[in-house]
Amino acid sequence: MPEHVWKCDHCIDSFESWDEANEHEKDCNWNPKNKFCCSCKNHSNDGFWMYGESYTCLKSLDMDHYEDHGNCKGWQKE
């Protein structure tokens, strides 16, 4: 077991070294600098518990092809 662990400042992931954590944070989906759908104010779960989750964008942006991969032009901080 490592003596210290490093936790991502944006999500729940933890790492055995600072370098690993630092590299992860650059690409973390929850890092606001990356503007991924999951960290956007307009990201909405419209799913029904019985059928599973179904996410949509409240600004009607295309989450399947571009915006979900980061740098969304419609991204807003929560």
Beta-strand (E) ranges in the chain? 6-7, 14-15, 43-45, 55-57
Which pLDDT tens digit goes with each residue over 31-41? 999 998 888 89
Of 36, 38, 37, 6, the closest CA to residue 23 belongs to 6
- Look at 1-10, 32-41, 54-63, 65-74 and tell me which has the smallest mean pLDDT: 65-74
Confidence (pLDDT) at 67? 56
Which pLDDT tens digit goes with each residue over 11-60? 999 999 999 999 999 999 899 999 988 888 988 887 766 777 778 889 98
